Amino acid sequence: MAMTPSTHNPYAKHGSLVFDLLKFNNIKYRKILLLERFFIIILCITLMATPAMVVRWIAGKISRMARKLSIEVYVLLKTCGAVFALFGGLWAGNLYVILCTISLVDLFSNILAIVLLRNFWHAPLSLNRTLISLGLNFIEFTAWFAGLYLHFDALRFGSASVTDSFSAYYFSVITSATIGYGDIVPTFDGRKLVVIEAFCSFIFLAVVVTYVIGSLGQPNDNASQEE
């Protein structure tokens, strides 16, 4: 059976939403006040600049299912890429910081969209699928931050610099989990990265909790709905 191309154009959809929200006399969105409206507009503009949006757009030209599968593959490849970059020693190059920044913006803009755009996006296929993706997202962003700690020589174990990838990843995970054993500590400049990662972890946790609570009591079979 031939695949039917999806009519879903993510650029047109998000661009239209931005223009509608800029019209304060739009009755359809009259309940969205200034602060929420501002954040949604910024989020939509950011999303349209992310690689994930390009993947959705290209795969959507093939079929709706191709778009869904492509996002799953994209999330998996990004996670593997972050882990490979960390344990493969790629964090030493200056290109790593650029790649890390792009990936983190891509990741967290799409994570925030799960909550902030929940009234504009179609329901996900299933709770399990989204939770698995979020689990991969956690592995990815903690790996990126671990590489940043190593790149900027931002960690100390006693008086010695931390230079091995696993120790940096260990520190990144316990920082995101707000555990903090105190065996590895950041330098003065490294504290800036810790603050950023802690803030990102707060966003991640808030999205997961909000999504799970919002999904309770809803039918598990959303196969007929699209993202």
pLDDT digits over 36-64, tens only? Answer: 899 999 999 999 999 999 998 998 888 88
Which pLDDT band, with edges at 50, 70 and 90, does 168 fall under? very high
What are all long-range contacts of 32-37, with beta carbons under 8 Å and residues at least 24 apart?
36/116
Residue 43 backbone phi and psi in degrees, to 5: -65, -45
Q: For residue 224, is it within any domain?
A: no
Q: For residue 220, is it within any domain?
A: no
> What is the rounded distance in angstroms from the CA atom of residue 115 to the CA atom of residue 110?
9
Structure tokens at 28: 């359809």
Q: For residue 169, is it within any domain?
A: yes
Q: For residue 149, is it within any domain?
A: yes
Give which of 219, 177, 227, 167 is closest to 198, Cα–Cα.
Answer: 177
Q: What pLDDT does 216 receive?
A: 67
Q: What pLDDT does 64 receive?
A: 80
- 99-144 pLDDT, tens digit per residue, is 999 999 999 999 999 888 887 876 666 778 888 999 999 999 999 9
Average pLDDT for residues 160-187, to the nearest whole number? 93
Q: Which domain holds residue 106?
A: 10-215
Total count of domains within the chain: 1
Q: For residue 26, is it within any domain?
A: yes
Q: For residue 145, is it within any domain?
A: yes
Q: For residue 33, is it within any domain?
A: yes
Q: For residue 49, is it within any domain?
A: yes
